[in-house]
Every structure is written in structure tokens, then in C-alpha cells.
């Protein structure tokens, strides 16, 4: 039975206004979580997610934060705890990409911003939420990586580096926090029907994009809801002995 008020579990999903983040927020709300979702500039889209969750009988709040700023990361945790009194699940979904640029040609500012959002933000968010989770003796952290760490394609340098770092962060954190009742895992999506993939395929051109999708053994793009299903599994009791894992949801490839 779902418990009222502050006894109901809370999940914080970064980058929750669209795509995979939206699907995760909706799925967790459906599982009975009160959901805090973060956005940077898409206030209208975040409000739509909040309203959709409310219309289905759930509870959600949206909080603006620029995760490239360490202080915003810490403030996001504080705001969520202040509004909802607890955080049981942290999903580090927000991420940015830079594709089609050789490592030697990446402007330093672009390199630094990708790493700040994709690596530094999860670090700051985890550091801010861990005291709360440790005090409760339980917690779940799920980091969104990418199948790019299998493929390591030319031209995908800083994004691949950032996600490889996030996977190492996941494995180490799981070892360090397991005794505190905190499980930490990562999900590595393959080609998922999102704005980011659409932009990448547009850069490829029709022929290369079609060949890319054909290279997936299952022969199709994945859907955001398929990533959300893996996240909800990982934070459930059914995955109670699963920690320190990077699970690829990628249709069998490409890159495996």
C-alpha cells in the first residue's frame, strides 16, 4: 500500500523534462515514487511532465538547475529535501554531447563543459545526497552512461571519455557505499529514439543513418520507455543484490 506524505519514497531525476529523463520520471511515478525532476531551461516541458504525472494520480515537482555549476547541484539536492523531505533514488540522467569533432580540434571550453555536466555533476550530486542516504541506511543511485563506451568511435571523443569516467565512478562508488545500504548501477543506452539521436542521424545523412540502425542486431531503435524499465528494475527489490553494474540496453549492439 502506498504511504501518504513524507513516508512515500522520492526519486530525483536530472534532465527530466524530455526524452529518456521524462520516461524515467513517469515510470518511477507510476511505481509510487514522488518525483523531483530537474531541468535547465525547458520550464514548459518540465511543467508538462509534472502535469502528466499529476493527471495519472502521482506527485511531481520541477526544479531548475544548471548542472554545470557545482553550487546548483548542491542546491538541487537541498531544494528536493526541503520540498519532499527525503531522496531514496537519484538518477543522474542529464548529459550533453559533442560529436563529429576530433580530440585535437575540440575547443577547451567545449571539452570542459561536457565533463562538467556528464562527470562533475553526478559527483557533486552524489556528494550532496550521500549523507542523507547514509543516515537512512539505504538509497539507490543510477547513472546514465552510453553504448558509446563500447564503440569508442572517432569523433566522439569527449562524450565517450565522459561516459567511461561515469562507469568507473559507478563501480567504485558501489564498492565504497555497499556497506551503507546504497546500491549504485549504470545503464548504457544504445540508439534510443531521442532528440540527441535524431541530431546525430541528421549529421550522418540518410544512408549512413540507415546503415547504423541496421547494424543493431534487433534491427530498430530503442524507445525511452525501455531505458526507464531498466532503471525501475534496478531500484526495485527485485534487483536487491545488483550493484556496481553497467547494463547495456542496446538491442545487442552496435559495438558489442
| Distances in whole angstroms, Cα of residue 153 to Cα of each of 100, 148, 150 | 10, 7, 9
User: How many other β-carbons are positioned within 10 Å of the β-carbon of residue 90?
Assistant: 30
Dist CA 236 CA 54 (whole Å): 22
User: How many other β-carbons are positioned within 10 Å of the β-carbon of residue 149?
Assistant: 21
DSSP alpha helix (H) spans, 85-194: 108-115, 121-136, 148-151, 157-177
Q: Is the peptide bond before 254 cis (omega within 30 degrees of 0)?
A: yes
**Beta-carbon contacts of residue 140 (< 8 Å; ≥ 6 apart):** 88, 89, 90, 182, 183, 184, 234, 235
Residue 119 DSSP one-character state: I
Dist CA 173 CA 44 (whole Å): 34
Answer yes or no: 33 catalytic.
Answer: no
Structure-block grid coordinates of residue 182: 546504497
Q: What is the phi-psi region of residue 62: left when phi exceeds 0, alpha when psi lies from -120 to 50, beta otherwise?
A: beta
Choose the catalytic residue: 33, 39, 159, 241. 159
Active site residues: 159
Amino acid at each position: 500500500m502506498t504511504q501518504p506524505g513524507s513516508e512515500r519514497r522520492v526519486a530525483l531525476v536530472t534532465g527530466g523534462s524530455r526524452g529518456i529523463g521524462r520516461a524515467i520520471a513517469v515510470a518511477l511515478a507510476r511505481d509510487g515514487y514522488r518525483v523531483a525532476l530537474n531541468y535547465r531551461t525547458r520550464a514548459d516541458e518540465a511543467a508538462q511532465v509534472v502535469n502528466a504525472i499529476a493527471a495519472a494520480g502521482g506527485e511531481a515537482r520541477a526544479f531548475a538547475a544548471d548542472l554545470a555549476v557545482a553550487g546548483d547541484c548542491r542546491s538541487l539536492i537541498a531544494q528536493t529535501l526541503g520540498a519532499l523531505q527525503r531522496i531514496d533514488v537519484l538518477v543522474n540522467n542529464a548529459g550533453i554531447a559533442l560529436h563529429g569533432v576530433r580530440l585535437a580540434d575540440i575547443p577547451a571550453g567545449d571539452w570542459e563543459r561536457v565533463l562538467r555536466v556528464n562527470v562533475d555533476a553526478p559527483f557533486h550530486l552524489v556528494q550532496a545526497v550521500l549523507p542523507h542516504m547514509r543516515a537512512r541506511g539505504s538509497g539507490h543511485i543510477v547513472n546514465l552512461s552510453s553504448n558509446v563506451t563500447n564503440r569508442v568511435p572517432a569523433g566522439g571523443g569527449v562524450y565517450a571519455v565522459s561516459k567511461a569516467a561515469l562507469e568507473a565512478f559507478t563501480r567504485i562508488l558501489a564498492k565504497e557505499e555497499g556497506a551503507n545500504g546504497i546500491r549504485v548501477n549504470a545503464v548504457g543506452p544504445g540508439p534510443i529514439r531521442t532528440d540527441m539521436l535524431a541530431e546525430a542521424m541528421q549529421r550522418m545523412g540518410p544512408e549512413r543513418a540507415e546503415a547504423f540502425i541496421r547494424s543493431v542486431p534487433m534491427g530498430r531503435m530503442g524507445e525511452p520507455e525501455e531505458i526507464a524499465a531498466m532503471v525501475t528494475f534496478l531500484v526495485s527489490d527485485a534487483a536487491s543484490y545488483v550493484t556496481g553494474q553497467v547494463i547495456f540496453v542496446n538491442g545487442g549492439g552496435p559495438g558489442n
